[in-house]
Structure 1
Amino acid sequence: MGRRSPISVAVAAVSAALTAAVLVGCGPTGSTADKGGTSQPTTAAPSTSATTGAPAATDPSTAGSDPSATHTTAAAPAPSATTKPPVAPASVIANGSTSEKVRELQARLAQLHLFSQAVTGFYGTVTEHAVSDFQERHGLPSTGHVTQATWTKLGSLTRVPTHKELYPVVTNKPAGKLDARCMTGRAICVSKTTRTLSWVVNGKVLATMDVRFGSQYTPTREGLFHVNSKSRDHVSTIYHTAMPYAMFFSGGQAVHYSSDFAARGYAGASHGCVNVRDKAAIASLFDQVRVGDKVVVYW
């Protein structure tokens, strides 16, 4: 075979390079060829050192810029300090609690004519509003929560409550007209008209106390029932509220003491139970009533 001319050798080299370039362009899914376009691969020639012919080191941070320029790395900004919210003062007496401390709180507020309801020992919305009013009048944060500052200020303006102030006598309304079903045997007779409960044995009224009922959405059932169970320190499994001296007569409905009724009166309502606000009276009734005794709820 004769010697190939320099031109033929150059043409062959170019052809081989083009063939290699086409093979490199068959990229993975997502390339321009997969999207209906024409793949145009380009192979950038590596830069070389003028003296050694080895690839020249390239600083990525200076690529495409003036190599004579001086580059400095800016320091990362220091993280700003996290500002914590101020811690609220702890409550000396917690809202929603029942205790002798709450009873004293209510009696002291009553001395200042800020609490007009019966002293019950239950910290409800009425007590919260009275505390808030006291705080506002004396330049304290009006939160309705008893902080140490609130308790100290209240103590400096009031005296130690008397026993009568701490345990006022609850006066119940007289018994209403009894239903005929109450006149025989042993019966808890509940009148929705007069909002009273009468404990009747063989037609004789032995005790009477004020009661309230469920709202229009959770009404107290009417009719003749019987006490099916008793629970002295019951707590509702549905509403998680205390139901002391509970006497159940229809499903989850029961006659029981209500600290909320004692604190708010008829401003509130039960979830269907017959609420009693005189704790001493309901405690005595609980000891007398037997499972099987009648419960009559009527208008």
Structure 2
Amino acid sequence: MTLALTGLAGLTGLAAAPPAAAAGAAAAAPCTARTGPYQRELEAHLGRKVDGVQSPEDCAAIRQFQEANGLSPADGYPDVATHREMLVVQARPNPNKAGKCPVRNHRVTCIDMDRQLLWVQRGSKVVFPPVPIRTGRDDQETRLGWHEIYWRNKDHVSTLYDTPMPHAQFFNGGQAIHGAYGDLYAYGGSAGCVNLYPKDAARLWDLLTEGDAVYVWGTKFGTDG
């Protein structure tokens, strides 16, 4: 009986080991993603040699960045989602370093179409850290300048496109800041609204209210304004 129990314990230990071993093997697996559209930008950000050509070491470094920032898939491919997250990370210490969003005593929601970022500041203090966004595509650009949130609808559905607009906060005509399901970077832009990941739109909803200021500047890549 003692031998049987000892054998059983040994088998139990062996059974517990493979998941950890498999996880270790997966983490150490070669990274094989090909060169991507934001290769040079990610190489520069990660301190790699900037040559625009993916190497196994580049791939592993990009994959590590993706894993650290909760991106999926974390496969080492330098795609648009990884590049946008890189811009968020770079902006996080001081998103208004260039001073393009006016500093006021009240809350201002800052929409930077150059970098496709949104944050909220009160005075020089950031009260909602930068998050990635999608603004209007060519011929449906998000309107520039000062705006004001004039209407909010937590469970809005677009009457034009029959699509959900969760946590919609309207600031100019039919343009609103709202959550968007699916690929945030698809279609070359929105129809003029400022799209966020749903989780970010929900957090922003809890912070803002009607009458809050919104300031939009810059040019989304691939548009005229």
TM-score (norm 1): 0.40
Asked if structure 2 preserves the Cα contact closer than 8 Å seen for 1:182 and 1:188, the reply is no
Aligned equivalent of 2:189: 269
CA positional deviation for 1:265: 1.9
CA positional deviation for 1:179: 2.7
Aligned equivalent of 2:107: 186
For 2:209 and 2:137, how far apart are their aligned partners in 1?
28
User: Which of 187, 196, 204 does residue 117 from structure 2 map onto?
Assistant: 196
Counterpart AA for 1:298: W
Q: Which has the higher contact order (CA 8 A, sep 6+)?
A: 2
Aligned equivalent of 1:286: 205
Counterpart AA for 2:185: G
Counterpart AA for 1:229: W
Asked if structure 2 preserves the Cα contact closer than 8 Å seen for 1:178 and 1:189, the reply is no
Aligned equivalent of 2:214: 295
Larger of the two Rg values belongs to structure: 1
Q: Quick one: structure 1 residues 165 and 255, their matched pair in 2 at CA, closer, same or farther if it must change by over 3 Å?
A: closer
Counterpart AA for 2:170: F
Asked if structure 2 preserves the Cα contact closer than 8 Å seen for 1:233 and 1:243, the reply is yes
Q: Secondary structure at the match of 1:193?
A: coil
Counterpart AA for 2:211: G
Aligned equivalent of 1:239: 161
CA positional deviation for 1:293: 0.5
Instruction: Count residues in correspondence.
Output: 134
For 1:243 and 1:259, how far apart are their aligned partners in 2?
9
For 2:116 and 2:150, how far apart are their aligned partners in 1?
23
Aligned equivalent of 2:62: none
Structure 1 unaligned regions, length at least 5? 1-112, 114-163
For 1:249 and 1:264, how far apart are their aligned partners in 2?
20
The C-alpha deviation readout for 1:112-154, integer Å capped at 9, x for no partner, is x9xxxxxxxxxxxxxxxxxxxxxxxxxxxxxxxxxxxxxxxxx
Aligned equivalent of 2:23: none
Identity value in percent: 30
Q: Quick one: structure 1 residues 232 and 218, their matched pair in 2 at CA, closer, same or farther if it must change by over 3 Å?
A: same
CA positional deviation for 1:266: 5.1
Asked if structure 2 preserves the Cα contact closer than 8 Å seen for 1:235 and 1:243, the reply is yes
User: Which of 242, 252, 255 does residue 177 from structure 2 map onto?
Assistant: 255
Structure 2 unaligned regions, length at least 5? 1-31, 33-69, 75-81, 219-225
Q: Secondary structure at the match of 2:133?
A: strand
